[in-house]
Amino acid sequence: MTIFMYIFCLIVWGLNFIAVKIQGTPVSLELSLTYRLVMTAFLFLILICFLRPRGMPTKKDIPFIVIFGVCNFALSYLCLYYATILSSAAIVTLIFSLKVILTPIALRIFLKEKLHSRVFFGGILGVVGVCILIYPNLNNFQGFNDIKGIMVAILGTVLTAIGDASSARNANHKVNPIYANAIGFTVGSILMGVIVLFQGQEITFPTPFSYVCMLLYLTLFASFVAWLFYLKLVEKIGGARSGYMVALFPVIGGIASVLIGESDPSPYLFIGCFSSCIGAAIALGFRTQKQDSKLTLKRVN
């Protein structure tokens, strides 16, 4: 079951931005995101009613959960949605994998946690991977949209890192992540709803098959089931080992981007994704964690 949950999260989140690309823009991205967040919030609230888990947040925890919801579920998602439409899903997935570098930096800034040197080495390889992937687009007119998409994707990833730091603080204070997700998605949906109303948009629900299917995919699988599985993985194998899947996101996103005809298979795509995967693995301390596991086994034996 652990292997199934790991592979499920890896594939579902690796295809996240491909789903956004297929979903398209029959309505504004803000409205599409609002639908996703509202539906996910309801699912988590229903889950709380059934499970009634321990670890309910206190009043002091609420501001940090709000930051978590605004950064991780509202603003970062919106930025990454726009980046996916402006650029390619492969590029956005690759940039998003840089969160394994940006999150430790955010933890250092906000929670004063130790910043390992491997984060810098991994970060260099990750940035090199992004540069290699976007290089072919720099000499053509369409490349300008790619650059805008890249900048928005970086902003979205930075916001995610800030949200991750807030999530880490909540975990340190024993806030149950199911409560945090329920409140976070609720806050995010309210914020996006306010943005939609402020823009004066007409509230309509598109009925094309591709839109409805991708909305259900992003809501049920990417936002609800995958998060529940991920929480179970953290409980069973730890946060560090669960985080390894982020290092493989560029491969999943790159392959899927080629399969749907969004990107052409090229040495730039292969080398860029490979470089980012290696960089993410280094930043996550894959080698160190593997050696630590072996030492632990030896001590037990």
Of the two residues 177 and 100, the one the predictor is more confident about is 177
Predicted confidence band at 297 (pLDDT cuts at 50, 70, 90)? very low
pLDDT digits (tens, 9 = 90+) for 80-93: 999 999 988 888 88
HEC secondary structure over the chain: CHHHHHHHHHHHHHCHHHHHHHHCCCCCHHHHHHHHHHHHHHHHHHHHHHHCCCCCCCCCCHHHHHHHHHHHHHHHHHHHHHHHHHCCHHHHHHHHCCHHHHHHHHHHHHHCCCCCCHHHHHHHHHHHHHHHHHHHHCCCCCHHHHHHHHHHHHHHHHHHHHHHHHHHHHHHCCCCHHHHHHHHHHHHHHHHHHHHHHCCCCCCCCCCHHHHHHHHHHHHHHHHHHHHHHHHHHHHHCHHHHHHHHHHHHHHHHHHHHHCCCCCCCHHHHHHHHHHHHHHHHHCCHHHHHHHHHHHHHHHC
User: Residue 281 pLDDT > 90, yes or no?
Assistant: no
User: Residue 293 pLDDT > 50, yes or no?
Assistant: no
> What is the pLDDT, as a whole number, of residue 239?
57
C-alpha neighbours within 13 Å on the C-beta side of residue 191: 20
pLDDT digits (tens, 9 = 90+) for 185-238: 999 999 999 999 999 988 999 999 999 999 999 999 999 999 888 877 776 776
> What is the pLDDT, as a whole number, of residue 242?
64
> What is the pLDDT, as a whole number, of residue 240?
55
Reported pTM: 0.85
HEC secondary structure over 60-76: CCHHHHHHHHHHHHHHH
Nearest 10 degrees: CA dihedral of 214, 220, 224, 227?
Answer: -60
Of the two residues 246 and 156, the one the predictor is more confident about is 156
